[in-house]
Amino acid sequence: MIQVMIVEDDPMVAALNRQFVERMEGFMVSSVAGNAQQAIAILAEADIDLVLLDIHMPGLTGIEFLQMIREQKQDLDVILITAASEIQQIQHALRLGASDYLIKPFEFSRFQEALLQYKNNFHKLHDNRQVNQQEIDSLLGRKPPSAASQSNAQDLPKGLTKATLQTLKHVILTNEAAVFSTDDLAQAARISRVSVRKYLKFLSAIGYLQEDLTYGVGRPIYQYRLDPENTHRLDPYL
């Protein structure tokens, strides 16, 4: 079980983050701190694997706290969850080894994606004494050379393009609604419904999306939701 500490000065946000973590299999919130000073005290007594860390807090900022634990060489990982979107803050956090950076407000699907990726890497690093180059590349988010060198035009079904697929991926990942229809996506992406329908069928076929048929007043409607465990299935096509 991956032990999580939430460091967040807003009690409502902390409670929401706790609810999100509790929906994730394999994770447990072992402690919640309202500021960096409380977090330091908790770390002195508890074994923590992952810290969900805010930046703007009274006292030490999240960046200062992250820098301090790096200087102390503490064996734990950090995901920033913050409203701070300044590029300097992001660069600093990444240079200090943040595993991911989520900007508030965000959807559960993005949070789920971050924790699933962390969980995958966590078990790879803890289950093996040695790793090969392919596993290292996977941990670093690099594509295998064979996938990178293949022609996307050949990989995609006839009539689909990489550029449109990238646009729809962006719209889906930033979509505030967990479930959406063909019309919803077409309107958000400003692409024709007929064209969007082709891409949705493709994304459902590879498992990137889950497709459900709902019945109400009038004709049945296909609705879609992102499958966080299968987001990697789109990578070879982009």
Residue 93 and residue 179 in one domain: no
User: Which of 177, 156, 175 lies closest to 165 in space, CA to CA?
Assistant: 156
Higher pLDDT, 55 or 123: 55
Residue 46 and residue 120 in one domain: yes
Residue 85 binned pLDDT confidence (cut-offs 50, 70, 90): confident
* Predicted TM-score (pTM) above 0.85: no
145 occurs within a structural domain:
no
User: What distance in Å separates the CA atoms of residue 207 and residue 156, rounded to the nearest whole number?
Assistant: 15
Domain final residue pick, 84, 112, 127: 127
Are 189 and 167 a contacting pair, CB within 8 Å? yes
Residue 56 and residue 169 in one domain: no
Q: Domain residues for 34?
A: 2-127
CATH number at residue 157: 1.10.10.10
133 occurs within a structural domain:
no
Residue 152 binned pLDDT confidence (cut-offs 50, 70, 90): very low
- Helical segments of 46-192, H only: 62-71, 87-95, 108-127, 133-139, 145-149, 152-155, 162-173, 182-189
Residue 54 and residue 22 in one domain: yes
Apex 22 CA angle, 47 and 92, nearest 5: 60
Assess whether pLDDT exceeds 70 at residue 202: yes
Of 76-90, 163-177, 204-218, give the lowest mean pLDDT range. Answer: 204-218
**pLDDT tens-digit readout, 33-65:** 999 999 999 999 999 999 999 999 999 999 999
Domain final residue pick, 127, 159, 187: 127
134 occurs within a structural domain:
no
Are 52 and 4 a contacting pair, CB within 8 Å? yes
Residue 8 and residue 121 in one domain: yes
CATH number at residue 117: 3.40.50.2300
